[in-house]
Structure 1
Amino acid sequence: MELKPLSGSLPLARENSAADLRRAAEGFEEIFLTQMLKAARSASLGDDIMGSSAVEKTRDLFDAEIARSSSRRTGLGIADAVERQFSPFVTSGSKAD
Structure 2
Amino acid sequence: MIEEQQTWELRLYIAGKTPKSVSALNNLKRYCEEHLEGKYKIEVIDLLLHPQLAEGDQIFAVPTLVRKVPVPIRKIIGDLSNEEKVLVGLNIIPLRLD
> Would you say same fold, with TM above 0.5?
no
Higher strand share: 2
| Higher Rg of the two aligned structures | 1
Indicate the structure with greater helix content: 1
Q: Which has the higher contact order (CA 8 A, sep 6+)?
A: 1
Q: TM-score, normalised by structure 2?
A: 0.28
Using structure 1 for the length normalisation, give the TM-score.
0.29
